[in-house]
Chain A
Amino acid sequence: GAGVSQSPSNKVTEKGKDVELRCDPISGHTALYWYRQSLGQGLEFLIYFQGNSAPDKSGLPSDRFSAERTGGSVSTLTIQRTQQEDSAVYLCASSRQGGTEAFFGQGTRLTVV
């Protein structure tokens, strides 16, 4: 596709449920990033994938958060046993490789009730 695509655009879930957020990067981009933007807060780095290398998971806030990237393309961010503080906009970005211009998707707005 022409840009980074994220789905769903909005997700409302009950506290304690698991959720999966999807990111389709720009074709040919080997680097993929997940960020979180909480209401009134800045962007917080979560995880970085580069090709087939081991991901940089240093930004994941707890072990309830995990992410995978299949075939070096599509990525899924999974949040288990969601909590109200997980409510935020989750943004995905991709770049040709690490250290080059990053392009962001429109985000998934997650609301935990």
Chain B
Amino acid sequence: KQEVTQIPAALSVPEGENLVLNCSFTDSAIYNLQWFRQDPGKGLTSLLLIQSSQREQTSGRLNASLDKSSGRSTLYIAASQPGDSATYLCAVDWNGQNFVFGPGTRLSVLP
């Protein structure tokens, strides 16, 4: 069964810290992987998309890496800010038709 897990479930850090969120998936034959953030009561905001052939993507203070052979992706957030507080979701596309989502990591950045 194709599944996505995320560790940790929740994370609380002081402002300014660099942090890493982890995503693991079964079956390395992925199409792509996308990271989202979700603010309470809101929809999902796309952060980064990594295609199967890519190893990493960067956007501002965010860097996402992909290691298909080990079934893992990490989202690195540099110099965290209180505005980064949200739930971060990893989603894997195995067939080019839909995403399977992980349960998310709830991040709190304390001022």
Contacts and interface: CB of A to CB of B under 8 A. Distances in A.
A45 B99 contact: yes
Contacts of B32: 99-100
B100 A99 contact: no
Given A42-B101, A42-B104, A102 B96 contact: no
Contact of B49 (A4, A42, A59, A101): A101
B93 A99 contact: yes
Contact of B44 (A56, A59, A91, A98): A91
Interface size class of A (residues with CB under 8 A): 20 to 34
A14 to B, nearest CB: 23
What's the dominant secondary structure at chain B's contact region?
strand
A35 B44 CA distance: 11
A107 to B, nearest CB: 5
Interface residues of B, number: 22
A33 interface: yes
Contacts of A4: 43
Contacts of A91: 43-44
A45 B98 contact: yes
Nearest to A101: B49
Contacts of B97: 48, 50, 56, 98-99
B101 A102 contact: no
B100 to A, nearest CB: 7
B28 interface: no
Interface in A3-38: 4, 33, 35
Given A98-B96, A101-B46, A102-B46, 8 more contacts: A33-B98, A42-B104, A48-B98, A91-B43, A99-B31, A99-B96, A100-B32, A106-B43
7 contacts: A42-B101, A42-B103, A45-B100, A50-B97, A99-B31, A100-B49, A103-B46
Interface of A: 4, 33, 35, 42-43, 45, 48, 50, 56, 59, 91, 93, 98-107
5 cross-chain pairs, A with B, having the tightest CB-CB distances, nearest first: A99-B96, A104-B44, A43-B101, A106-B43, A101-B49
